[in-house]
Copies of this chain bind each other. A is one copy, B any other.
């Protein structure tokens, strides 16, 4: 049994852009297991854009609370293997997911509910898929893509769909789910390599690099007749461009706003929101963790598609716990393709 575990902690609340120096690695003594607890050796931890809202001293109202300084980062999805168990339903060797990521070992109580159920200790069926996919397409990312398309945007036959951050973890799933249902899908991303991925691997109908001009113009070039659904991972100018391009009864799924997460000041919202009234548009926010009930459906649909190669899944893996700060910073800079993971064991 290991005596100690290293863990990532927040050294200070970042001001402006997040830097690796905002984090520190600390070694702590693993407490003795109590009845009902299990000890997990963590293999992969999920690195999600919205994490950085929790790195702020004040997290947005209604969101998960800010991380404490100099403390383990609780509420972060991770997968690993049970190495000791005093809980009835879990035994050594079980592959599980839980919410105590960014550390080598975690003591977990199965009765503690995390992330709307998504982060509660759960045994994974690794005959269906490798464990790490339960952090991505078969976990929070897949559920977010599903909830956004089918709940928030109420995807309807014939909808033309734009997905931003389409080469990212949630965006690549949302684009493919829409493509599989026969929709015209436009993707946007921030590098030529990502655009090539969207066009050549995901077979999207069109794609543009948002660095190559004003987003509204780039969107109009590929969707001259407008769009019906916008899956928003970016906010800012992307959201404004979408509102301008949406046809009557169009819908926006507000999944995230990565363009705004690192701003110290409030970012002005779309200046054309009256178009929502004139075109009867809906904007609906959602969080994967509110849609845990979709998990089984997501796994049932996506796992076989990945196994058969019809569904593409990419990840950018950072090796070793100490690479966590780099993983976070690179993800927020848009350097990573697909799901970002930290590999610790």
Which positions in A face B, CB cutoff 8 Å?
53, 60-63, 235, 239-240, 244, 248, 254-257, 260, 266-287, 290
B278/A287 in contact, CB under 8 A: yes
**Cβ of A53: which chain B residues have Cβ within 8 Å of it?**
274
Contact A284/B281 with A60-B274, A269-B270, A272-B266 known, Cβ cut-off 8 Å: yes
Query: Which one of B248, B273, B277, B285 contacts A277 once the chains associate, using CB atoms below 8 Å?
Result: B285
* Interface SS majority for chain A: loop
CB-defined contacts of A255 to chain B, threshold 8 Å? 277
Give every chain B residue within 8 A of A286 (Cβ-Cβ).
277, 280
Contact across chains for B277 and A61 when beta carbons are under 8 A apart: no
The answer to whether A279 touches B275 (Cβ under 8 A) is no
- With the chains together, A212 CA to B98 CA distance in Å? 50
| Integer count of this chain's copies in the complex | 2
Q: What are 27 A-B pairs at a CB distance below 8 A?
A: A53-B274, A60-B274, A60-B278, A61-B278, A62-B278, A62-B279, A235-B274, A239-B273, A240-B269, A254-B273, A254-B276, A256-B277, A257-B274, A268-B269, A268-B271, A269-B270, A269-B271, A274-B285, A276-B284, A276-B285, A279-B285, A280-B284, A280-B286, A282-B282, A282-B284, A282-B285, A284-B284
Q: Which residues of B contact A248 (CB under 8 A)?
A: 62
Inter-chain contacts of A256 with B (CB < 8 A): 277
Query: How close is A95's CB to chain B, nearest CB, in angstroms?
Result: 31
Residues in B with CB closer than 8 Å to A287 are 277-278, 280
Minimal beta-carbon separation of A169 from chain B (angstroms): 16
Query: Among B266, B274, B285, which residue has its beta carbon within 8 angstroms of that of A281?
Result: B285
- Whether A60 and B271, one on each chain, are in contact in the complex, defined by CB atoms closer than 8 angstroms, is no
Residue in chain B with minimal CB distance to A59: B278
Residue of B nearest to A248 (CB): B62
Contact of A257 among B273, B282, B285 (CB under 8 A): B273
Bound-state Cα–Cα, A280 to B278, Å: 23
Residues in B whose Cβ lies below 8 Å from that of A282: 282-285
Among A244, A254, A255, the most chain B Cβ lie within 10 Å of the Cβ of A254
Excluding A60-B274, A268-B271, A278-B285, 10 further A-B contacts by CB distance (< 8 Å) are: A61-B279, A254-B276, A256-B277, A266-B271, A266-B272, A268-B268, A268-B269, A277-B285, A280-B290, A281-B285
